[in-house]
Chain A
Amino acid sequence: MYFYIFENSKANREKKIQEKAKQIIAELGISGENVTPNPARSIDELIDIGLTKGFSTFVGIGSDIFANKIISSLLSNKKNCEEDKPVFGFVPTDFDKSQIGKIINVTNIENACKSLRFRTLKTISLGLAIPNKYFITPLTINSQFPFSVHLILPNLEAVGSATQIKITPDINISFSDNNLGNSGIQKLLNIFKGEKMTYSEKYSSRFTTDALKLVCEPSIPVNLENEIIAKTPIQIKRIDNHLQIIINRGTIAVE
Chain B
Amino acid sequence: MKIGSNEEGIGTVVGANVRLQGTLKDTNDISVYGTVEGEVISDKMVIIADTAMIKGPVTADIITVSGEVKGSIEAKTKLEILPSGKVNGSITCQTLIIQSGAKLNGKSTMAGIKSDENVQKEEKTETNIHKEKDENIKKNILDDSDIELE
Contact = CB atoms under 8 A, between A and B. Distances in A.
B15 A204 contact: yes
B21 A168 contact: no
Contact of B22 (A155, A201, A204): A155
A203 B38 contact: no
Given A202-B33, A202-B49, A158 B3 contact: no
Contacts of B1: 201, 204, 206
Contacts of A202: 15-16, 33, 49, 51
Interface stretch (B23-31, B71-79, B80-88): B23-31
Given A204-B15, A208-B11, A208-B26, A157 B3 contact: no
A233 interface: no
Nearest to B14: A205
Nearest to A158: B20
A168 B3 CA distance: 11
A156 B39 CA distance: 10
B111 interface: no
B25 A168 contact: no
B14 A138 contact: no
Contacts of B11: 206, 208
A201 B49 CA distance: 12
Nearest to A181: B16
A207 interface: yes
Interface residues of A, number: 26
Q: Is the interface of B mostly helix, strand, loop or mixed?
A: loop
Listed residue (B1, B18, B24) with the most chain A CB atoms within 10 angstroms of its CB: B18
Contacts of A176: 3, 15
A160 interface: yes
Given A156-B38, A157-B22, A203 B3 contact: no
Nearest to A202: B16
A208 B15 CA distance: 14
A79 to B, nearest CB: 35
A203 B16 contact: yes
A202 B34 CA distance: 9
A160 B16 CA distance: 9
Contacts of B6: 172
Given A172-B4, A203-B17, A206-B11, 8 more contacts: A158-B14, A159-B19, A160-B15, A160-B18, A176-B3, A177-B17, A180-B16, A204-B15
